[in-house]
Amino acid sequence: MGAASSDTQASSDEIPQHTVYLDGFQIDQTEVTNAMFRKFVDATHYQTDAEKQGSGIVLDIAKGTWSDMQGANWQHPHGPVSNLNGLDDHPVVQISWNDATAYCRWAGGDLPTEAQWEKAARGVDGRIYPWGDQAAGGNLLNSADRSLDVTWADKSIDDGYQFTAPVGHYPAGKSFYGALDMAGNVWEWVRDWYDDKYYASSPARNPENTTESGARILRGGSWNNGVLDLRASNRLSSIPVKRDEVFGFRCAR
């Protein structure tokens, strides 16, 4: 787990690389979709944090900046004039850690721990990406490519989608265990609290940081990210109530 200290692409919170032992677990093959999340909402009348607060974080492509937009939520991912027409099989977004946890518990599971997520993404050989060490390409994942008009996009890649893609659309990018979209598409919330120095002292068996820090963890990168953020060891932190058009999740049990 984590990155080697000699890895020049790694951030300090990915170091040191260390061996982790995990009990058996199951993890969803795909990210939770809009159709799946709608069943949860219909059954429970759940209101997401974005709906309660009346806004979500949206990318202004023209400016290349992010802003808190009124009316953005899981049903209106890019703002109040957007909708979910034709997106039933796309990953649900504008989801906070609280929302993701509520769904997973309703579905009989929980969010994966950070270690479980990374194990599912990297398999047994510490690979850089879920599919191996091969460079990212448009047949492997949904990332910032030629269809996304931002300065950090890789114009040599064409994954076929500007924003999210249908879950499981890139079978060539599956992980060692067959998990899909563990790089790109949407960032995925995991269970742990964030600590940039946790790896230096984390237990070797079933690690999970339960010490409250104010921020939770997301893994995997999104349609808005370039190659450095798509590495399977990369970590992102955010407050549990934050909702964003690149934030989604999958469950484990």
CATH of the domain at 169: 3.90.1580.10
- Which of the residues in the chain have pLDDT under 70? none
Question: Is residue 183 situated within a structural domain?
Answer: yes
pLDDT at 236: 98
Residue range 146-199, pLDDT digits in tens: 999 999 999 999 999 999 999 999 999 999 999 999 999 999 999 999 999 999
Number of Cβ atoms within 10 Å of the Cβ of 202: 19
Q: Which amino acid, one-letter code, is at 203?
A: P
Question: Is residue 1 situated within a structural domain?
Answer: no
**Residue 56's domain spans which residues?**
32-253
Question: Is residue 24 situated within a structural domain?
Answer: no
Beta strands in 85-186 (DSSP E): none
Is 0.85 topped by the overall pTM? yes
For residues 130 and 133, give the distance between their C-alpha atoms in angstroms, rounded to a whole number. Answer: 8
Residue 123 contacts residue 1 (beta carbons within 8 Å): no
Question: Is residue 14 situated within a structural domain?
Answer: no
For residues 189 and 35, give the distance between their C-alpha atoms in angstroms, rounded to a whole number. Answer: 19
**Which two structure tokens, joined as six digits, stand for 154?**
């890789």
Q: How many alpha carbons fall within 13 Å on the CB side of residue 118?
A: 29
Question: Is residue 2 situated within a structural domain?
Answer: no
Question: Is residue 44 situated within a structural domain?
Answer: yes
Question: Is residue 193 situated within a structural domain?
Answer: yes
Give CA 218 to chain center in angstroms: 6
Structural domain count, the chain: 1
Question: Is residue 18 situated within a structural domain?
Answer: no
| Short-list 91, 98, 88, 120, CA closest to 20 | 120
Determine the straight-line distance between the first and last CA of the chain, rounded to whole angstroms: 20
